[in-house]
Amino acid sequence: MTSPHPARVTLEINLDTLRSNHRHIAEAVAPAKVIAVLKANAYGLGMKPIAEALAQSDITAIAVAELAEGMEALGHGIPVLLLGTILPSEIEPVIAAGIHIPLQDLATAHLVSTTAKRLRKTAHCHIPLDTGMGRLGLGLDTATETIVAMSKLPAISLDGIYSHFPMAYKSASDFTLKQVEHFKRIVAECEAHGITFAWRHIANSDGINNFQEHISCDPFTHVRTGINLHGSFDTEGKRSLHLKSVITLRAKLVQVRTLPQGATIGYGATYTCPAPMRVGTVAVGYADGLPLALSNRGALSIHGRSCPILGRVCMDYTNVSLEQVPDAVAGDDVICLGDGAATVEDWAILKNTHPYEVLCAIGSRVQRLYK
Q: Which residues are catalytic?
A: 39, 267
| DSSP state at residue 11 | E
Strand pairing partners for 247?
13
CB of 314 closer than 8 Å to CB of 286? yes
CB of 296 closer than 8 Å to CB of 309? yes
| DSSP state at residue 203 | -
Strands (E), the chain: 10-13, 33-37, 61-64, 80-82, 101-102, 123-130, 138-139, 156-162, 199-201, 222-225, 247-259, 264-265, 271-272, 277-282, 299-302, 305-310, 318-321, 333-337, 367-370
CB of 202 closer than 8 Å to CB of 179? yes
Cα dihedral 109, 115, 117, 120 sign: negative
- Residue 308 contacts by C-beta under 8 Å, 6 or more apart in sequence? 298, 299, 320, 321
Per DSSP bridges, beta strands 305-310 and 299-302 are antiparallel
- DSSP H/E element including 94: helix 91-97
- DSSP H/E element including 23: helix 15-29
Cα dihedral 200, 203, 205, 210 sign: negative
- Residue 182 contacts by C-beta under 8 Å, 6 or more apart in sequence? 129, 131, 132, 140, 163
Q: For 235, phi and psi rounded to 5 degrees?
A: -75, -15
Query: CA-CA distance, 187 to 144, in Å (whole number)?
Result: 8
Identity of the amino acid at 24: H
Query: Residue 42's closest CA among 227, 176, 274?
Result: 227
Integer-rounded Cα radius of gyration of the chain: 24
